[in-house]
Amino acid sequence: MKFVLLFLISAVVLIWLTTRFRRQINELIVAFRSNDLSSTKSKINVGKPERSFEMIKCAACGTWTPFENAALLNSVEKFCSQECVDEAIAIKKATNRY
């Protein structure tokens, strides 16, 4: 009796999943039949720009920030904001390392 009940519950869940995701299942079937998965990938990325999510660690405060938002003092030192750059310059001037 337990196996019959387990089978029925599994069947109901399977039916629910196939009806819920039938469009995605059909796209996968078409992609595998045509043996061309690149067309499926190109449909997914349409309209989404490619972005780099490279993160850098601020040399002054240690905050992680996206590279595209970083303030660069030189090729080695990268900062999260202009305030951190100003602070680093002030510290270097105070210690005569600049």
Lowest mean pLDDT among 22-36, 44-58, 60-74: 44-58
Which pLDDT belongs to residue 44? 54
Q: Is there a single domain that holds both residue 60 and residue 90?
A: yes
CA 1 to chain CA centroid, Å, is: 47
What is the total count of domains within the chain?
A: 2
pLDDT of 7 higher than 90: yes
Q: Is there a single domain that holds both residue 40 and residue 62?
A: no
Which residue would you say has higher pLDDT here, 71 or 51?
Answer: 71
Domain of 71 in residue numbering reads as 55-94
Instruction: Please give the Cα distance from 82 to 86 (Å, whole number).
Output: 6
Of 53, 49, 50, 52, which is closest to residue 64 (Cα–Cα)? 53
Q: Is there a single domain that holds both residue 40 and residue 60?
A: no
Name the pLDDT band for 50 (thresholds 50, 70, 90).
low
Q: Is residue 49 part of a domain?
A: no
Which residue would you say has higher pLDDT here, 4 or 34?
Answer: 4
Q: Is there a single domain that holds both residue 61 and residue 82?
A: yes
- Which one-letter amino acid corresponds to residue 42? S
Q: Is residue 50 part of a domain?
A: no
Instruction: Please give the Cα distance from 55 to 34 (Å, whole number).
Output: 39
